Structure 1
Amino acid sequence: MSASDTYPDADRTGDGKAHFEVLDGLRGAAALLVVAFHIQGITVLFDAPRLLLPHAYLAVDFFFALSGFVVGYAYDDRWGTMTTRQFLVRRLIRLHPLVVLGAIVGLASYLGDPFAGDRQEASAALVVFAFLTALLALPSAPLPNRLGDSHPLNAPAWTLLQEYIGNIAYALVLRRLRTRALAGMAVIAAIISAVTALSLGSYDTGWGLANFWGAPVRLAYPFLIGLLIYRLHDRLPRFRVGFIPLSIVLALAFIAPVWPSSGAIKWNGVYQAACVLILFPAILVVGRHSAGGPSTLRLCKAAGRLSYPLYITHYPFVYLYMNWVVGKTGTAAATAAIAVSLFLFTILFATAAYRWWDLPLRSALQRKARGRGD
């Protein structure tokens, strides 16, 4: 079954392939939930018992699974006419303009924060180095008042580095593997993933300099299982649930309480492993075959387009909010009002970034790449 069969009237890519609108919508729903998690969580320094969405950082693992699926769908059948260089150029054009914008906004946030006081005093050389590495989505030396983030000017950029690693692995190795070999790699990655979650009691790793080893661990299984689900799509069950029910399932998974340990068993790790290893792939399988009416598809389309610019540009504003909270003297109601306003502002900013930064830059880069044969 092709995407055209699932969505006969769906929006299409520049190559004529239909979008999986429900999966696009779920990406947007996950992005909105993770922004809400960051805004609320940073006020309590991500102390798990006080989080309203204590598992929402698993959205990253869900994004990786979606990425594996989408990359397989978009490129698996094009390697006879596309070189590795052309693939990598296309992925850079798709992803990197917003990485650059996130770095610029992150630098402005760090240098112009009116609430930071003397908590962000850093040498010019250190800030410049952080900015240059941010432009490349690479980790940097730590900056003051940035909670140990490996990408201190724009924390979510650590996932973009992993995205690039996944894309390079796909271009050089994974695309060449038979389905059985890919499944074997996914099983090994699942074991490593489960051991990590059960040992730590969570997947809260990979984002900082101290736990950067966890980043490729979190990437491997979701990306591989997403690619495998695409390869096996004709042999998998074809359930249709819809965008709203699947979004509710995703939200409930993120809202669930932090699970206590019992003896040597860290039940929170067990729960999160079940989400990453079982629930998210199941949502991907069901969402791949789900559809909806015109209004639902328009909502999914809008949410999908917003998801990446929202995810990659919101965090510098969250840093500002963090420093405002430290020095605030207002009531809890005032803090809540600022938090809601910030949430809405990040959506507006992401919309503007998509329309007036991402789309024009990608269009210009695509024209230039076509002129060079890329």
Structure 2
Amino acid sequence: MQPAPTLPTKPHYPILDGLRGVAALMVVAFHLFEAHATSHQDQLINHGYLAVDFFFLLSGFVIGYAYDDRWNRMSVGSFFRRRLVRLQPMVVFGTVVGALLYYFQVSALWPAIGQTPVWKVLLLTVLGSLMLPAPLALDIRGWQETYPLNGPGWSLMYEYVANILYAVLVRKFSKLALGVLVALAAAALLHLLLTRPEGDIVGGWSPELGQVRIGLIRVMYPFFAGLLLFRTVKPGRVNHAFGWSSLLVVAVLAMPRLGGLGRPWVNGLYESLSIILVFPLIVLLGASGELIAPYTRKLCKFLGAISYPLYITHYPLIYSYTAWVYDHKVTLRDGLPVAALTFFSALALAYAALKLYDEPVRAWLQKKLVAASAVPGSPQPGVAGP
């Protein structure tokens, strides 16, 4: 029996990999500064949480690129296996790190830590590792997080939701039907941001029903807008695309709060325009560029590789830093050395996890779960991460 012919592997979009890494670095910095903020009004890197929405859009674009033309040779089950292999190992790792740091931590910020039984921590570890939402009855921090051992896991849950919708239904949509879906999702996003008293998109991280609504709104527009962007717009040729698109990402996320307390809709309008218009423009700009200099190719490769491990493992360290700030009443100026240490520790942890755990585990799972149903030449798409 002759083996199936091997198709050429699709090239990556290396600049998009690099942009994912830039956004992940901004998320870590945002969470560090958040420990010193009294509200969203005085938060540095004020709109860092919009990186999640940017990740969703990137993911939709890359999923379309990787899989849209392969469904005549790939089953839904094969698609799900590929996504599980790509995402789940680091979900488990981040949850275990979160469990260890929680159990051995002491802080007045979370007085229940010392009273949390081992079985509850173990149960939350299992739930988090399987991406099963923790009920509010298991809220061990008082923050009402869906994944209290590793808060950012909520965005991966919605990434899975979007992937399931894509594989089961939306992949079959015509461009017109997909456009209608994206338009409706954009309208829901705009309505939320212009009418919400807080004037921002922050939310989705709790199993409370209102938060679930926000989480679904947050994922539906950017993910499927990214898919529509891939299907309808052909990238051009842009010089210095990585530099310009990186600056745009940083600028959008670092923008100070707008409108103040009296006009929250101003900030809501800014976030609406960023998600609906600017983020697709950034992705298109990144997809339209080439990397010529060897150092930029290496940089984007590193940033792309580190982005997901960094996003999914950094927050347990943020819990510890936030507790230290709270317990010792540390100002931002005094805390900068420890913040910098935490930042680079998060990078080191992510890189170690990538090389010593994620890559070997994914290679093993690839052989066991995916190889038999592999689509020749299929690339490994990026993830939302964030």
Change (3 A) 1:39 1:144: same
Counterparts of residues 362-373 of structure 1 (less than 5 Å):
362-370=362-370, 372-373=372-373
Partner of 1:191: 187
Of residues 6, 13, 26, the one that matches 1:20 is 13
How do 1:35-184 residues align onto structure 2 when only pairs under 5 Å count? Answer: 35-44=28-37, 47-115=39-107, 118-120=111-113, 121-142=115-136, 143-184=139-180
Letter of the 2:92 partner, please give it. Answer: V
> Which residue is 2:325 aligned to?
325
3-state DSSP of counterpart to 1:78 = coil
- Report what 2:310 is aligned to: 310
The aligned residue for residue 30 of structure 1 is 23
Relative to structure 1, is the Cα distance of residues 371 and 209 closer, same or farther in structure 2, using a 3 angstrom cutoff? closer
Residues 27 and 303, structure 1, Cα contact 8 Å, conserved in 2: yes
Matching of residues 211-230 of structure 1 within 5 Å: 211-230=211-230
1:233 CA drift (Å): 2.8
Task: Judge conservation of contact 1:240–1:287 (CA < 8 Å) in 2.
Answer: no
Q: Partners in 2 of 1:286 and 1:153 — Cα distance?
A: 36
Aligned 8 A contact 1:138 1:158 in 2: no
Q: 1:146 to 1:352 in 2, by over 3 A?
A: farther
Name the SS of the counterpart of 2:9 in structure 1.
coil
Q: How far apart in 2 are the matches of 1:80 and 1:243?
A: 34
Which moves more between the two structures, 89-98 or 329-338?
A: 329-338
Rounded to whole Å, the distance in 2 between the matches of 1:361 and 1:139 is 24
Match of 1:10 in 2: none
Q: Which amino acid aligns with 1:257?
A: P
Q: For residues 185 and 324 of structure 1, do their structure 2 counterparts lie closer, same or farther at Cα, with a shift above 3 Å needed?
A: same
1:208 aligns with 2:206: yes
Structure 1 unmatched ranges of 5 or more:
1-13
- Aligned-pair distance for 1:229? 0.8
Give me the whole-angstrom Cα distance separating, in 2, the residues matched to 1:238 and 1:184.
29
Residues 356-367 of structure 1 mapped to structure 2, 5 A cutoff: 356-367=356-367
CA distance in 2, matches of 1:246, 1:34: 17
Are the aligned partners of 2:325 and 2:331 in contact in 1 as well (CA < 8 Å)?
no
Structure 1: distance between partners of 2:117 and 2:264: 45
Q: Identify the range of structure 1 (121-130 vs 191-200) with the bigger mean alpha-carbon deviation.
A: 121-130
Q: Name the aligned partner's letter for residue 316 of structure 1.
A: P
Q: CA RMSD in A?
A: 2.1
> CA deviation digits over 1:88-112, x for unaligned, max 9?
0001001100000011011111101
Residues 291 and 297, structure 1, Cα contact 8 Å, conserved in 2: no
Give the CA deviation at 1:138: 2.4
Matched residue of 1:50: which SS? coil
Structure with the bigger RCO (C-alpha within 8 Å, sep 6+) is: 2
- 1:74, 1:128 → 2: CA distance? 36
Distance in 1 (alpha carbons) for counterparts of 2:34 and 2:237: 37
- For structure 2, the 5+ residue unaligned runs are 1-6, 375-386
Partner of 2:259: 260
| Equivalent residues of 2:41, 2:260 under 8 A apart | no
Deviations 1:41-77 (A, max 9, x none): 02336x1122111111000000000000110111111
What whole-Å deviation, never above 9, does each CA across 1:241-286 have from its counterpart, x for those lacking one? 4212211111111121111269776100000001000000110111
Question: Which amino acid is 2:183 matched to?
Answer: V
CA distance in 1, matches of 2:130, 2:95: 9
- 8 Å Cα contact 2:35-2:325 kept in structure 1: no
Superposition map of 1:207-356 within 5 A? 207-210=205-208, 211-234=211-234, 239-260=238-259, 266-292=265-291, 293-328=293-328, 333-356=333-356
What number of residue pairs does the alignment pair up?
A: 359
Classify the secondary structure of the residue corresponding to 2:133: coil
Name 2:4's counterpart in structure 1: none
Structure 1 distance, partners of 2:178, 2:337, is 48
Calculate percent identity across the aligned residue pairs. Answer: 36
**Counterpart Cα distance in 2 of 1:148 and 1:83:** 37
Corresponding residue of 1:3: none
Per-residue Cα deviation, 1:221-248 (whole angstroms, up to 9, x for no partner): 00011001111133x6654442122111
